[in-house]
């Protein structure tokens, strides 16, 4: 089994300048914070999530029966992998660089992993992500996956709400041919609230969807997860998000310039994060940086040794990184 590697808090807590996670660094959405404070956690939510499904469906312009509620993106990744495995052993196709839970879920359910550039024609489950992780780029072969009739294709859209540049590869019709996985907690600046949902393809096999629903625990979402997703669909939250994206664009430009001043090679990307090849190995200075309150995401586990992934943070954090990196030389 592949080791679990994540960004974010570690055994010593939250780093004051945490570049290793990709939540919205502008802060937590005020509308969501207010709604969470007023949430009724004394009672169970509706076990069928009727109102929530309807609200999410209206937000995306799809039928409510296409909405699958999930405890988190990772929970859905494991659940749909289990559903595929129940249909018989097979192969799971992954992009060349991708979120580790795709592979972990496949391994847990006895599915063989194929990784690009290997062909995907025989895969029973194919994972796509755009903007991609960890690069934040377009996935060049995504339209081919959307038109393929072999296996099940899931498009992870965790970073689409935090897209700062470029356009998605798929139009509405193409999106209707794949599973869409949405996790708004990053965009809302509330990654501690675990909540997600998927949108089934238009012509999905009803038995397969029923299998996925049947694998869910009772109440996969608690009251606070429901509240986050409900707030996410509202005008106030979407207006705040749009405003925060402009701030992130400005911060990203200054952060890339700062990294380049250190001699780093920054890779292109469309999201609120990017990868860079550092002028010396990050693992050699990681402990010293962490002692200074700074954490980066080593990309070796993504298959990109020598690189770090950096969430865009405010200018004060950027300057703290520059000073700490220079001092660690």
Looking at the structure, do residues 247 and 229 belong to the same domain, yes or no? no
Let me know if residue 3 belongs to a domain: no
Residue 89 is predicted with a pLDDT of 76
Residue 5 CB neighbours (<10 A): 12
Which of 195, 217, 236 terminates a domain? The answer is 236
Residue 5 is predicted with a pLDDT of 66
Give the 3-state DSSP-derived string for 14-68, with helices as H, strands as E and coil as C: CCCEECCCCCCCCCCCHHHHHHHHCCCCCCCCCCCCHHHHHHHHHHHCCCHHHEE
Looking at the structure, do residues 226 and 300 belong to the same domain, yes or no? no
Which of 236, 269, 303 terminates a domain? The answer is 236
Assess contact for 219 and 45: CB atoms under 8 A: yes
Query: In terms of Cα–Cα distance, which of 294, 306, 320, 296 is closest to 267?
Result: 306
Let me know if residue 125 belongs to a domain: yes
> Rounded CA gap, 216 and 239, in Å?
33
Q: Is the peptide bond before 97 cis (omega within 30 degrees of 0)?
A: no
As to burial, measured by CB atoms within 10 angstroms (0-12 exposed, 13-18 middle, 19+ buried), residue 119 is exposed
Let me know if residue 152 belongs to a domain: yes
Domain that includes residue 22, residue range: 17-26+243-327
State percent of the chain over pLDDT 70: 98
Looking at the structure, do residues 121 and 184 belong to the same domain, yes or no? yes
145's CB contacts (< 8 A; 6+ apart) are 120, 126, 128, 153, 155, 178
Q: What is the pLDDT of residues 168-201, one digit of tens each?
A: 999 999 999 999 999 999 999 999 999 999 999 9
Q: Is the peptide bond before 131 cis (omega within 30 degrees of 0)?
A: yes
pLDDT surpassing 50 at residue 1: no
Looking at the structure, do residues 203 and 281 belong to the same domain, yes or no? no
Looking at the structure, do residues 200 and 248 belong to the same domain, yes or no? no
Residue 4 is predicted with a pLDDT of 63
Looking at the structure, do residues 266 and 295 belong to the same domain, yes or no? yes
pLDDT surpassing 80 at residue 8: no
C-alpha gyration radius of the chain:
20
Looking at the structure, do residues 35 and 22 belong to the same domain, yes or no? no
Let me know if residue 8 belongs to a domain: no
Task: Name the pairing type of β-strands 307-311 and 273-277.
Answer: antiparallel
Q: What is the pLDDT of residues 124-165, one digit of tens each?
A: 999 999 999 999 999 999 999 999 888 999 999 999 999 999
CATH number at residue 223: 3.40.640.10
69's CB contacts (< 8 A; 6+ apart) are 49, 52, 53, 197, 216, 220, 221
Looking at the structure, do residues 137 and 74 belong to the same domain, yes or no? yes
Which of 191, 210, 236 terminates a domain? The answer is 236
Looking at the structure, do residues 108 and 249 belong to the same domain, yes or no? no
Assess contact for 124 and 152: CB atoms under 8 A: yes
Mean pLDDT of the chain: 94
Let me know if residue 12 belongs to a domain: no
How many structural domains are present in the chain?
A: 2
Q: What is the pLDDT of residues 14-68, one digit of tens each?
A: 899 999 999 999 999 999 999 999 999 999 999 999 999 999 999 999 999 999 9
Looking at the structure, do residues 199 and 51 belong to the same domain, yes or no? yes
> Rounded CA gap, 143 and 147, in Å?
6
Q: What is the pLDDT of residues 205-234, one digit of tens each?
A: 889 999 999 999 999 999 999 999 999 999
Looking at the structure, do residues 53 and 164 belong to the same domain, yes or no? yes
Looking at the structure, do residues 21 and 156 belong to the same domain, yes or no? no
């Amino acid at each position: 089994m592949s080791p679990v590697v994540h960004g974010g808090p570690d055994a010593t807590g939250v780093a004051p300048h945490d570049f290793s996670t990709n939540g919205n660094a502008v802060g937590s959405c005020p509308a969501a914070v207010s709604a969470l404070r007023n949430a009724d956690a004394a009672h169970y939510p509706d076990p069928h999530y009727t109102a929530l499904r309807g609200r999410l469906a209206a937000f995306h312009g799809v039928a409510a029966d296409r909405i699958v509620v999930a405890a988190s993106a990772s929970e859905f990744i494991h659940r749909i992998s289990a559903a595929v495995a129940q249909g018989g052993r097979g192969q799971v196709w992954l992009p060349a660089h991708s979120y580790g839970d795709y592979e972990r879920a496949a391994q847990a359910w006895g599915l063989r992993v194929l990784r690009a550039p290997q062909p995907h024609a025989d895969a029973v489950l194919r994972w796509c992500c755009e903007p991609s992780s960890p690069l934040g780029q377009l996935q060049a072969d995504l339209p081919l996956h959307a038109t393929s009739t072999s296996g099940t294709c899931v498009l992870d859209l965790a970073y689409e709400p935090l897209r700062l540049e470029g356009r998605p590869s798929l139009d509405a019709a193409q999106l209707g041919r794949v599973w869409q996985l949405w996790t708004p907690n990053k965009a809302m600046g509330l990654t501690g609230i675990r909540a997600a949902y998927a949108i089934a393809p238009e012509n999905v096999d009803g038995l397969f969807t029923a299998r996925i629903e049947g694998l869910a625990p009772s109440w996969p979402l608690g009251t606070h997860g429901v509240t986050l997703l409900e707030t996410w669909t509202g005008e106030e939250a979407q207006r705040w998000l749009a405003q925060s994206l402009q701030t992130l664009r400005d911060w990203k430009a200054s952060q890339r310039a700062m990294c380049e001043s250190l001699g780093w090679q920054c890779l292109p990307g469309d999201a609120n994060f990017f990868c860079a090849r550092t002028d010396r190995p990050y693992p050699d200075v990681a402990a010293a940086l962490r002692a200074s309150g700074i954490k980066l995401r080593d990309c070796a586990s993504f298959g990109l040794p020598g690189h770090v992934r950096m969430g865009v943070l405010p200018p004060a954090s950027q300057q703290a990184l520059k000073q700490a990196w220079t001092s660690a030389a």
